[in-house]
Amino acid sequence: MTFSIIRVARTVLHVTDLQASRDFYVNALGFIETEHDEEHIYLRGLEEHVHHSLLLKKADKPVVEVLGYKVEKEEHLTKLEALFQSQGLKTKWVEKGKQRAMGRALRVHDISGIPLEFFCEMETVERMLQRYDLYRGARIQRIDHVNCAVPDVQKAYDFYIDQLGFACSEYTATEDEKIWAAWLHRKPTVHDQAFMNGKGPKLHHFAYWLSEPMSLIHCCDVLASMGYADAIERGPGRHGLSNAFFLYLRDPDGHRIELYTGDYLTSDPDFKPIRWDLNDPRRQTFWGHKAPDSWFNETSTFIDIETGEEIAVHEPLLEQKKPEFII
Ligand SMILES: [Fe+2]
């Protein structure tokens, strides 16, 4: 590999009402607001030393503009450009200064059509980890992962493993050993990027890491107190797959955010991917309770890196099972 992707580093979401988004993400969930202007809010977690990991842009439609990955060195961006171009995939540069606090960025569409952005440079800011006086809501710490529905998980898996240098921590397989879902990482945790079999490409959710489960429980209380009980879609619970303690929320535009804590280290090269059977219900909820239909059926739409048009979606290659077997 002639480049090194460090980790998933930011999500750019379009939202229809910036104040409603601020109330939810900052006042209820406890994100730190680095700055804002008429059309943007830049948010980060308490642990993050970078300008932002979540950018909310005011727009007419609540779509997903791009999923961002940080690379180790600036020159890795041109290596990535060559790779994507060699595969006939669309690429586009966003020059330094065009995006607040960001160096030059390479935007591409991956093998499934997902809009990705690679960058090396982002302004650094004060890390709030020990500003306990600022802890509130879920005490959001840092971005952890993104999860996308794609129609061909095997194709996405092969591209990320073989071309981008990701490793697999866990996966779900069908009886005839087809990959139904995969959890892939660059940083040494369970994942940066997950893929699930489904109509796509679509963003299922993006996730933030918390330091312990009580932050998540406290967040439920805060949400209920502030009139956001309906935003709680699934959980709290524990995933079998990843072992993480989880809570899924829907923001005011319907984008899904997961609060996540309690996964494990995957740094060792001899770590063997953990296989889950598609018929094992413990993989999605270790305690056995089921997710609501909305969790399976509702996802966020991506837009084209050049035109801004919504990306066409395709039906999954593998036959869809009953909802409880989808993850
Ligand atoms: Fe997740």
Ligand 1 center–CA 112 separation, angstroms: 19
pLDDT at 114: 98
Ligand 1 center–CA 172 separation, angstroms: 14
Ligand 1 center–CA 191 separation, angstroms: 9
pLDDT at 325: 47
Ligand 1 center–CA 246 separation, angstroms: 8
pLDDT at 137: 97
- First and final C-alpha spacing in the chain: 30
pLDDT surpassing 70 at residue 324: no
Ligand 1 center–CA 250 separation, angstroms: 13
pLDDT surpassing 50 at residue 55: yes
Q: Can you name the residues that pair with 257 across neighbouring β-strands?
A: 206, 249
- Asked if residue 267 lies in contact with residue 169, where contact means CB atoms within 8 angstroms, the answer is no
- Asked if residue 113 lies in contact with residue 311, where contact means CB atoms within 8 angstroms, the answer is yes
Task: Read off the pLDDT of residues 261-280 as tens digits, 9 standing for 90 and up.
Answer: 999 999 999 999 999 998 88
Q: Can you name the residues that pair with 196 across neighbouring β-strands?
A: 149, 181
Ligand 1 center–CA 216 separation, angstroms: 14
Ligand 1 center–CA 145 separation, angstroms: 7
Ligand 1 center–CA 207 separation, angstroms: 6
Q: Is 58 exposed, middle or buried (0-12, 13-18, 19+ CB in 10 A)?
A: middle
Q: Which two tokens stand for residue 225?
A: 């107190």
pLDDT at 11: 98
Nearest Cα to Cα of residue 108 among 88, 128, 124: 88
Nearest Cα to Cα of residue 156 among 198, 124, 121: 198
pLDDT at 288: 83
- Asked if residue 195 lies in contact with residue 145, where contact means CB atoms within 8 angstroms, the answer is no
pLDDT at 322: 54
For the chain, the three-class secondary structure string (H helix, E strand, C coil) is CCCCEEEEEEEEEEECCHHHHHHHHHHHCCCEEEEECCCEEEEECCCCCECCCEEEEECCCCCEEEEEEEECCCCHHHHHHHHHHHCCCCEEEECCCCCCCECCEEEEECCCCCEEEEECCECECCCCCCCHHHCCCCCCCEEEEEEEEECCHHHHHHHHHHHCCCEEEEEEECCCCCEEEEEEECCCCCCCEEEEECCECEEEEEEEECCCHHHHHHHHHHHHHCCCHHHEEEEEEECCCCCCEEEEEECCCCCEEEEEECCCCCCCCCCCCEEEECCCHHHCCCCCCCCCHHHHHCCEEEECCCCCCECCCECCCCCCCCHHHCC
What domains can be seen in the chain, in order of their start residue? Answer: 5-119 (3.10.180.10), 139-325 (3.10.180.10)
Task: Read off the pLDDT of residues 155-187 as tens digits, 9 standing for 90 and up.
Answer: 999 999 999 999 999 999 998 999 999 999 999
């967040």: which residue's tokens?
219
Q: How many residues does the chain have?
A: 327
Ligand 1 center–CA 277 separation, angstroms: 18
């494990």: which residue's tokens?
264
Ligand 1 center–CA 256 separation, angstroms: 10
Tell me what the mean pLDDT of segment 278-287 comes to.
86
Ligand 1 center–CA 258 separation, angstroms: 6
